[in-house]
Structure 1
Amino acid sequence: MPDAHPHPEPSPAHPRPEPFLARTAPEALHDLRARLRATRWPDAPEDAGWSLGTDLAYLRELVTYWAEEFDWPAQEAALARLPRFRVPVGGLGIHYVHARAVAPTGPVLPLVLSHGWPDSFWRYSKVVPLLTDPGAHGADPADAFDVVVPDMPGYGYSDRPTGAPLDSIAVAGLWAELMDVLGYERFGAAGGDVGSHVSRYLALDHPDRVVAVHRTDAGVPRFFGDPAELAPEEHAWLEGGAAWGAAEGAYAAMHRTKPQTAAFGLTDSPAGLAAWIVEKLRSWSDCGGDIERSYTKDEILTNVTLYWLTETIGSSMRMYHANAAIAPAQLSRRVEVPSGFSIFPGDLVRPPRAWLHRVANAVRVTEPERGGHFAPFEEPELYARELRAFFRPYRAAAAS
């Protein structure tokens, strides 16, 4: 019987994607363990805990596990079970997951998922099978997606730009080209953190191709109009964002202004790299202060080890520098493509509905019961449920 839902073929006008399999040389792991064992530790005030940044006692425990017990080859093999590829796009080699819908019973919606910092395609590694094969996970097979999860340039296994870093607008253009390479004329877009910005610009600059866009945040609050136009809850949102930036935003100020300075130490010291990333995983997740309530040590270290082996901490931070130069006229554009927002309780600064309707054609806004900034990894079932529900009305539009 012919396939009722034939998959599009890559466009012959573009370079053909090549299957990708990461293979870490044993010497790289020997060097990593040697560096971990030779860590020179800072002092910390007694009982400081996490109040001044990464907790010394926890990081010592994590680094010992990383050096002595963590099985990177096993984690690398687990990630290799995802269908992964590389293809030149816009002059850069882009690494991505491309997982096809399994046994769909209706129109298949292509969906490009954009990650943020400090992560990579890792963010969506748990949710891919839930989206491609919902019938095997207790959901409706008609909600199956073709899922594309690219590593942004300078992250993970994608190329690092050798010239000026790319901003979110440029990356959105690359993703539109990538979807063209894969044969998808129309598609959905979703993301969080930096990936929220990329998804937003996909909808803004390619509204003829993006049928709907889903985001887990609305970015850092910035308003360029008359403050008198704002509702009271929007004023509070802006004030809360400013307070969060003053208390928690030092990392972003460094990324925006002098990322190369921090890159030297973070590229040379795996313990330093872990400290930089782990503090954010804990602070931004719905874990009640206990990071291992949201992630196992293996999960934490898989994310950190990806950064270490690909040497991408510096290039990933430089994207903040590029985004800081985006003009206010771009930042203030309203998304008219149908937009959905899932605002998870443990995320950073949670926007009010009035703000979401101001910045986008927000046709669906929900507040799931659990999850934080890394919701696709923290709560993959909840996140998959949110995407299925939001995109359900737009499947036919993508197929037409």
Structure 2
Amino acid sequence: MPDAPPRPEPFVPQTAPEVLDDLRARLRATRWPDTPEDAGWSLGTDLAYLRELVAYWADEFDWPAQEAALARFPRFRVELGGLGIHFVHVRAAAPAGPVLPLVLSHGWPDSFWRYSKVIPLLTDPGAHGADPADAFDVVVPDMPGYGYSDRPTGPPLDSIAVAGLWAELMDVLGHPRFGAAGGDMGSHVSRYLGLDHPDRVVAVHRTDAGVPVYTGDPADLTPEERAWIEGAGAWGATEGAYAAMHRTKPQTAAFGLTDSPAGLAAWIVEKLRAWSDCDGDVERRFTKDEILTNVTLYWLTGTIGSSMRMYRANAAIAPAQHAGRVEVPSGFSLFPGDVVRPPRAWLERTANVVRVTEPARGGHFAPFEEPELYAEELRTFFRPYRAAAPG
């Protein structure tokens, strides 16, 4: 008899009170480092701000309320490739035309949390002042080693392998054809969905093109491309220490970050501030509750180490695989606060580009920072491809 196909099961996590008691005790026992006077954020996470955030986390943050708010989304787990994968699956509300299934891939340091604001805008646009005909069936998985998905016990999975899992997931959900979108690590996954599964993917949307990998003759690049690659290298020299650690010795950092919630918050909030369109004030984009919901997901699932190990897996991807050109229709929304924003010449070198826009606001976490703008970017880009993939 053939094996039964994977069957998604409803999933609603509930955190035991004693787990939260342990978290609060650890927060209150934090051993703080010294810092030079007036260092602010120049050396990394600002001590004064983190003290404030940790005090709020210990005494005021209401995780059960945040957990209940996340439970408004239909959530499931299914076994794929020997791993339990957690995902959100929200069907289009009152569709007025062909419904496009859409898989959204998150990045680091986040999870399905990245899309929690934008999901209702995509599944029920008519309730938010947009055209009901632009509704999507939305699928948002947690990557292996992130959020409520299983942590691989063997070698970490790279973006190519995750793209294969997402293609299988969409098949399990009854979506033979679908759109793919993402940013950060999710941009890589969406790219490989287009590269390796062009018969399944109708179009790919990304908010970035990743850090450039180019092994050809620099003379073949445009001046804009060469300047961008040089700029990306300069960014890596000043801002990329985290990525070097993730690629080379992630386990060393994982000990401290898994044991200390204050350390975990410091590791994550510095990136939320540096990569968002916040002009140096992280709470212009994320409230304390929003920051701590993201950080608490990492704490409760113990996934900071496993999430970092994916960088090591991606670093081993062969240059020839980086060089592949995505031939399915591709679109890019380059938000002004994002990092290492690519020139159009590079995008066209690497993908069949049909649309590039530069929204007025937003950064690396655009779906969370500017959900209305991001939703409109997706509605507009995918509109011509709806008929190719009825839900």
TM-score by length of 2: 0.99
How many Å apart are 1:13 and its aligned residue? 4.9
Q: Secondary structure at the match of 1:350?
A: coil
How many Å apart are 1:14 and its aligned residue? 1.4
Question: What is the match of residue 108 of structure 1?
Answer: 99
State the distance in 1 between where 2:122 and 2:131 align: 10
Question: What is the match of residue 164 of structure 1?
Answer: 155
Q: Secondary structure at the match of 2:140?
A: strand
State the distance in 2 between where 1:195 and 1:273 align: 22
Q: Is 1:293 aligned to 2:284, yes or no?
A: yes
Question: What is the match of residue 316 of structure 1?
Answer: 307
Question: What is the match of residue 164 of structure 2?
Answer: 173
State the distance in 2 between where 1:123 and 1:45 align: 34
Question: What is the match of residue 72 of structure 1?
Answer: 63
State the distance in 1 between where 2:383 and 2:4 align: 31
Superposed CA offset, 1:125-155 (max 9, x none): 0000000000000000000000000000000
How many Å apart are 1:399 and its aligned residue? 2.5
Q: Secondary structure at the match of 1:59?
A: helix
Q: Is 1:30 aligned to 2:21, yes or no?
A: yes
Aligned partner (choices 190, 209, 217) of residue 200 of structure 2: 209
Residues 1-400 of structure 1 aligned to structure 2 (within 5 Å):
13-399=4-390
How many Å apart are 1:207 and its aligned residue? 0.1
Question: What is the match of residue 6 of structure 1?
Answer: none
Amino acid corresponding to residue 201 of structure 2 in structure 1: V
Moved segments of 4+, more than 3 Å: none
Q: Secondary structure at the match of 2:349?
A: helix
How many Å apart are 1:223 and its aligned residue? 1.0
Superposed CA offset, 1:57-76 (max 9, x none): 00000000000000000000
Q: Secondary structure at the match of 2:279?
A: coil
Q: Secondary structure at the match of 1:94?
A: strand
Amino acid corresponding to residue 344 of structure 1 in structure 2: F
Q: Secondary structure at the match of 1:399?
A: coil
State the distance in 1 between where 2:74 and 2:369 align: 22
Amino acid corresponding to residue 173 of structure 1 in structure 2: G
User: How many residue pairs get matched?
Assistant: 389
Q: Does structure 1 retain, via aligned residues, the 8 Å contact 2:101–2:390?
A: no
TM-score by length of 1: 0.96
State the distance in 1 between where 2:300 and 2:325 align: 39
Superposed CA offset, 1:313-345 (max 9, x none): 000000000000000000111111100000000
How many Å apart are 1:228 and its aligned residue? 1.0
State the distance in 1 between where 2:200 and 2:212 align: 27
Q: Secondary structure at the match of 1:349?
A: coil
How many Å apart are 1:109 and its aligned residue? 0.1
Q: Secondary structure at the match of 2:312?
A: helix
State the distance in 2 between where 1:13 and 1:198 align: 27
State the distance in 1 between where 2:146 and 2:310 align: 10
How many Å apart are 1:173 and its aligned residue? 0.3
State the distance in 2 between where 1:323 and 1:352 align: 23
Amino acid corresponding to residue 51 of structure 1 in structure 2: S
State the distance in 2 between where 1:247 and 1:194 align: 20
Amino acid corresponding to residue 286 of structure 2 in structure 1: Y
State the distance in 2 between where 1:333 and 1:227 align: 17
Amino acid corresponding to residue 327 of structure 1 in structure 2: A
Q: Secondary structure at the match of 1:369?
A: coil
Percentage of identical aligned residues: 86
How many Å apart are 1:384 and its aligned residue? 0.2
Amino acid corresponding to residue 77 of structure 1 in structure 2: A
State the distance in 2 between where 1:82 and 1:362 align: 33
Q: Secondary structure at the match of 2:198?
A: coil
State the distance in 2 between where 1:306 and 1:128 align: 18
